[in-house]
Chains A and B, each alone.
Chain A
Amino acid sequence: MMRRLLTFALVLGILLMGAAVPALAQDTLKIGAPQPMTGPDAPFGDKFKKAYGMAVEEINAKGGVNGKKIEVIIDDHQAKNAMAATVAEKLITQSKVLVLTGGRASGQAVEIASVAQRLKTPYVVDHPSADIITAKGFEWVFRNNPTGSIYPQAFNKFISEVPGAMPKSAAVVYDNSVFGKTISNSALTFLKSKNVPIVNDEAYPVNSLDFKPVMTKVKSNNPDYLLMVAVATTDAILLTKHAKEIGVAPRAFVGFGGGFGVEDFAKELGPQSQNVFSSAAWSGNPNDPTVKEFYKKFHDKYGIWPKEHEVEGYAIVYVIADAMRRAQLTGNVDADREAIRQALLKTDMTTVFGKLKFGNWAGPLGDPYTNQNIYSPDHSVLAQWLDGKLQNVWPKSNAETSYVFPDNTVKR
């Protein structure tokens, strides 16, 4: 019995040792990025991998940061919160990364932020949008991209500024995720403040297989505008498809969420994607020549046009590199992390994503942000799918073309 116990303990020890493989000592500046590389979110993890990769290549080709090369270490969190915590801990304590980024989905990002705050490592958020991430007073967490409640700003401006565009009634269909709830909440608050009657307020479970019942319900109320929020691309595609099949006939279809802004949307829906608005697929100002150049470079390298995720991932590496460059790095991991944090507080730069300066301010729904990009309210744009291409249409300063409104593909 004793021997069995001892052999068991030995095996246990060896296994645990094997699992916690210490990082090879390398002279690179390490950035950790938990991402979903398996499971339904895998395509997004892949986008970030490509984006980080391109940025790292460029920076290293130009001599790296103060002579040292940078490296992004990606680890799969499988879209599970507990796994995200494990992966973040591993990156921080085993791989000894200086900075964390990534996360992709808000649930995992909140967990990563919690870990980063406790283990005193800067977490520079590139994409996750839950307000709570920068609204809990975490001084180690910074965010470049807009929060969920800011997303609808451009849409709000559109309906306020374009004559006759204020909805006479609105149906809002959103998914039951943090993302869906935050955005719908923000949009609904604004619409209600303008006394727009909300005829449908429907939350659906993420990855629904069938939206025909929802759309039947929506159609029976004949909404003037149909707002759809979807964190998953699959939901975005099916929502639009079923809405059109059932025959919902608003003056405008407006989509909120990553799924409405990816190439797949038009590729899979074809003509059914025509005239659908996509809010907050902010991917840089397409009228800016530097940004256009980036799009082309990315397309040449990977064969796909970068959108929201790719631009955010690419930009964040530059943000981190900039902070690393200004920080006095000594090789002592703890001191370096603090130095980078101090450098981030002083960040004042422009990336292909847009202008960036971290600050403390109050969001549209009153959330107290810390280290949130003060230019975020500008990073909301209303785009529209026209002939298979997503083009910015509002505000005018970011517009690539004029909008089409009311929707002329729908028979009323």
Chain B
Amino acid sequence: MTRGSAGAAVLVLVLAPPLLTSNPFLLHLTITVLLWTLLGAAWNLLGGFAGQVSFGHSTFFGVGAYTTMILYLKGGLAPWYGMVLGGMVAVLVSLPIGLICFRLRGPYFSLSTLAVAEIVRLVALNWEGLTNGPVGLLITTLPRVGWGGRTLDWESKAPFYYMIAVLALASMLATYRLSRARLGAYLLAIREDEDAAESVGIDTVRAKVLTLALSAFFTGLGGGFYGLYFRYVDPDAVFPIALSVEMVFIAVVGGLATVIGPVIGAVFLTTIGEMFRERFLVGHLIFYGLFMMLVIRYLPEGIWGGARRAWAKRP
């Protein structure tokens, strides 16, 4: 099985669904899964590989979302360009954040990212001139776009699906390339023991800043997509702590520092969440919490880690 044909297989698998089904809700779920995959993979770069556990990634998500919405609603810039710009603004924002937070280690780093995220949220809530405050920004119509001779139907899920699929695949590809590059090795060294890595001559600051920028970029892209797909952005939707925590869950449950981990995490958490909500109107989060606890208890390396272990043990 060559790498090329494995890659082709993945491509086919990911791009197939809109052709296999036209059930809009199923596609909506898959889009949600892919968005979470993107976010989980983005977080994974910094948290899984570099071991820098950030609880403030919602900052980049929200910045991407608001950039996209503001540029479209107030500036007329098509949201797909806005999305990319959103990613870039997120990168810009990540620089001062890195400057402040990377001075700290371990839980102090994590909590500082949380503090930053909360500050940004409160600013977005109160700076009405820019963000419209709690009322939020709503897209009522998306621009007309031609594609292969026909206008894109924004009522169909297909265009959104392909967009997010491409983004998710890009993030997974980036993860793959990172894991093979020298930077990946540096990050793992930093994760194990930052001081030792420094003493060996690794420029830990540069490595961390670069990784954070990459991580922020993809997260920002995800935020832009959120605005484009869900059409409505308000501070509580894109800057909440719960979002940051969910990103961590996905990466950890799937399997830290792996390419396929975020996909698995996203699939499991989304479908399990849906199933429980379907069954239990009020009590579903009880089971969700229980599920989390069970996975961490019995699969401490994430589902992918556990699966690999089980596979290796087979007779």
Contact = CB atoms under 8 A, between A and B. Distances in A.
Interface of A: 1-2, 4-5, 8-9, 12, 15-21, 37-38, 42, 74-76, 78, 80-82, 85-86, 89-90, 93-94, 107, 110-111, 114, 117-119, 130, 132, 136-138, 176-178, 180-182, 203, 205
A82 B230 CA distance: 7
A140 to B, nearest CB: 12
B24 A89 contact: yes
A20 B237 CA distance: 24
B237 A2 contact: no
Contacts, number: 126
Given A2-B1, A12-B267, A20-B25, A37 B282 contact: yes
Interface residues of B, number: 50
Contacts of B231: 111, 114
Contacts of A74: 281
B232 A81 contact: yes
Interface string B104-136: 000000000000000000100110000001111
B9 A86 contact: no
Contacts of A107: 134, 136, 232, 234, 236-237
B138 A132 contact: yes
A110 B136 contact: yes
A110 B138 contact: yes
A93 B25 contact: yes
B271 A19 contact: yes
B155 A81 contact: no
Contact of B6 (A2, A15, A17): A2
Interface string B26-62: 1011101100000000000000000000000000000
Given A76-B284, A93-B25, A176-B134, A5 B230 contact: no
B13 A37 contact: no
A205 B122 contact: yes
Give the secondary structure class of B's interface: helix
12 contacts: A16-B26, A20-B26, A38-B284, A75-B277, A76-B281, A76-B284, A81-B237, A89-B25, A93-B25, A110-B232, A176-B126, A178-B234
Interface in B133-162: 133-136, 138-140, 154-155
Given A118-B155, A181-B135, A2 B282 contact: no
Given A19-B271, A20-B29, A86-B28, A2 B9 contact: yes
B135 A19 contact: no
B268 interface: yes
B26 A38 contact: no
A18 B271 contact: yes
B125 A76 contact: no
A38 B285 contact: yes
A82 B26 contact: no
B10 interface: yes
Nearest to A117: B140
Contacts of A19: 29, 270-271, 274-275, 278
Of all A-B residue pairs in the complex, the 4 with the closest CB atoms, nearest first, are: A19-B274, A15-B271, A81-B237, A93-B25
B134 A5 contact: no
A350 to B, nearest CB: 32
A137 B141 CA distance: 11
Contacts of A117: 140
Contacts of B237: 80-82, 107
A114 B232 contact: yes
Contacts of A80: 237, 242
A84 B285 CA distance: 16
Interface of B: 1, 6, 9-10, 13, 23-26, 28-30, 32-33, 122, 125-126, 133-136, 138-140, 154-155, 226, 230-232, 234, 236-237, 242, 260, 264, 267-268, 270-271, 274-275, 277-278, 281-282, 284-285, 307, 311
B232 A111 contact: yes
Contacts of B133: 176, 181
A93 B23 contact: yes
A138 B141 CA distance: 11
B28 A89 contact: yes
A2 B8 CA distance: 11
A90 B26 CA distance: 9
A18 B270 CA distance: 12
Nearest to B311: A4
B25 A94 contact: yes
A177 B24 contact: no
Contacts of B230: 81-82, 85, 111, 114
Contacts of B24: 89, 93, 119
A103 B311 CA distance: 46
A92 B1 CA distance: 43
A5 B6 contact: yes
A177 B232 contact: no
Nearest to A138: B140
A178 B278 contact: no
A74 B282 CA distance: 11
Nearest to B13: A9
A370 to B, nearest CB: 12
A130 B234 CA distance: 13
Contact of A177 (B28, B32, B134, B278): B134
A1 B1 CA distance: 7
A20 B275 CA distance: 8
Contacts of B311: 4
A1 B155 CA distance: 38
B32 A86 contact: yes
Given A90-B28, A107-B232, A111-B231, 11 more contacts: A16-B26, A82-B226, A86-B29, A86-B32, A93-B28, A114-B232, A130-B135, A132-B135, A136-B138, A176-B134, A180-B134
Contacts of B277: 75-76
Contacts of A181: 133-135
A110 B226 CA distance: 15
B16 to A, nearest CB: 10
A20 B22 CA distance: 13
A82 B135 CA distance: 16
Contacts of B260: 8
A21 B278 contact: yes
B266 to A, nearest CB: 10
Contacts of A20: 23, 25-26, 29, 274
B39 to A, nearest CB: 12
B226 to A, nearest CB: 7
Nearest to B280: A76
A5 B10 contact: yes
